[in-house]
A and B are shown apart, each in its own frame.
Chain A
């Protein structure tokens, strides 16, 4: 492991260049439709709207493209079509109800939002987690990373035209989801990681099930390699498409696989470890060219690294409690509720009124499959957050789209959107 290379151009040069290049189309949302209607009046360029209801825009992303023939000159992503007001709703939910809200942001990797929220709350409370809770969280997050990257493989293949890839990606994802369902009770939106630990201990037989999964997956990933990695058409569609460099990424605040695809080694799990990532061994996967193919390969190989981490978690999983034993934040055990009136009242109060969190403000961040997912939280000493803000990696990463697309063909735009892997729930929140 080497120290990250930070010798890059300064951001100012980048800003100047960006303005000169002006990859971003700066027109209003309504102008987009008007200009599209007027298309044909100008013989050099035309403005075209793509989305928000479009099969390859991953939900409800809308793009305004200024094109010359088939070539994309400038573009602008238009978002907000899935704005859910989650940050406002968070101000009415207690800290125990909070994870139900944030888990619906990044619905492909819900456990990471829960983790960031819980870590922020615990930092305000000053809680120290029992080791088993920490390791269960790691186990779940890596499982979730696998299912999220498998989803990417499926949709990326489909967007590019390798439709059978969707069938393969989904086949594997179902295996991971079934395991998540066994442990958390739900396939998605788990609300499993909560302030103070996790919702329940691992069920009997979890070890065998995880073992079966990590025994099965590598062979299936090799199938992906056969299907995609070496395939000339696939390489042709992705290599050299949507190129970005490290300086641009850093200036734009980009994190995750897009930043790593430029060859820059930066992964919060390694560089600013949280949970127990400093006690497991894994490699940070980086690319070389910063193109769509690198981003595909990084995500595929990150699944392999997650499997490596999972094997180590199986060996090192400590015994003990799965949540912190602090009367203030932990409800009493189920058995006690039947015999003790006080326990029943205690249980009721925790779930209706919640617990008070000391005033303060904090920022906690985790490495989600899409990059740095941060949670900024302000408490005023009551039982609900005064302000809760999630820094969604997809939201920031989306700013690369105009740069990646400039000068490319419309067909490449589809591949590029897919390789940025935005989850619109997290973009719009």
Chain B
């Protein structure tokens, strides 16, 4: 039961997704992203795809012929913008806001481009690999 994976250039995302929608993919289940800044080596990309720092991952589901398809879109670090899927699937609204909040990827045409999880005045995008975990050293008072 493995899902099919499609590598889609950013410019063709809308076209691909609307094609999939006509093919019976009724819902977008998930929109997320990965920051490949510290990944030691990516081998799972097809040769014609240039690896970029960010990858947007969109998962769609078809109910008629049960199955999922996963779209992987490369997003460069110096221009982290992607067209929004809101017009095709309104359910992506919150998911895209989360990606924008956590990774700083801008969704062009999104109706509500505000932070969703972090406070509005927060600086930085926590799930980027160059954002520190924020761990503070634990003190064991008993052993001192």
Chains A and B directly touch (beta carbon < 8 Å) = yes
Interfacial residues, chain A to chain B (CB-CB below 8 A): 3-4, 6, 8, 10-12, 14-15, 18-19, 24, 26, 28-30, 79-80, 83, 85, 87-89, 91-92, 123, 250-255, 266, 271-272, 274, 359-361, 363, 365, 372, 374, 376, 378, 380-381, 386-387, 389, 391, 395-396, 398-399, 428-429
Q: When the two chains form their complex, are residues B90 and A18 in contact, meaning their CB atoms are under 8 A apart?
A: yes
A396-B32 contact given A80-B119, A83-B117, CB 8 Å threshold: no
Number of A-B contacts (CB under 8 A): 134
Asked whether B29 is an interface residue with its Cβ less than 8 Å from the other chain, the reply is yes
Can you identify 13 A-B contacts, CB atoms within 8 angstroms?
A3-B64, A12-B87, A14-B90, A24-B93, A83-B118, A92-B135, A253-B27, A271-B66, A274-B1, A363-B3, A365-B29, A372-B61, A391-B32
With A85-B126, A271-B66, A374-B59 given, is the CB distance from A8 to B26 under 8 Å? yes
Contacts of B144 in A (CB 8 A): none
Q: Given contacts A11-B89, A363-B68, is CB(A376)–CB(B111) below 8 Å? A: no
A429 and B123 alpha carbons, distance in the complex (Å): 19
Nearest B residue (CB) for A259: B27
> Is the beta-carbon distance between B88 and A360 smaller than 8 angstroms?
no
**Using Cβ atoms and an 8 Å threshold, which residues of chain B touch A398?**
94
Given contacts A83-B117, A88-B127, A376-B57, contact A15 B92 (CB under 8 A): no
Closest-CB distance, B35 to chain A (whole angstroms): 8
Interface on chain B toward A: helix, strand, loop, or mixed SS? loop
Which residues of the other chain, B, contact A29 by a CB distance below 8 angstroms? 114-115, 120
Q: Which 6 A-B pairs have the closest CB atoms?
A: A253-B91, A252-B91, A80-B117, A391-B30, A83-B117, A389-B32
Given A28-B120, A79-B116, A80-B119, are A253 and B29 neighbors across the interface (CB < 8 Å)? Answer: yes
Task: Give the one of A123, A253, A272, A378 with max B CB within 10 A.
Answer: A253
Q: List residues of chain B with CB within 8 A of the CB of A3.
A: 64
B83 at interface, CB cutoff 8 A = no
**Which of B90, B127, B133 contacts A251, CB < 8 Å?**
B90
Complex contacts, A251 vs chain B, CB 8 Å: 27, 89-91
Kindly report which residue of chain B lies nearest to residue A28, judged by CB atoms: B114
B34 near A387: Cβ-Cβ < 8 Å: yes
Complex CA gap A361/B2 in Å reads 11
Residue in chain B with minimal CB distance to A265: B63
Please name all residues of chain B whose beta carbon is closer than 8 Å to the beta carbon of A395 when the two chains form the complex: 94-95, 98
Look across to chain B and name the residue whose beta carbon is closest to the beta carbon of A84.
B117
Q: Give the distance in Å from the alpha carbon of A255 to the alpha carbon of B39 in the complex.
A: 33
B9 at the binding interface (Cβ < 8 Å): no
Instruction: Report chain A residues within 8 Å CB of B87.
Output: 12, 15
Taking a contact as CB atoms under 8 Å apart, the answer to whether B117 and A360 are in contact is no
B14 vs chain A, min Cβ distance (A): 12
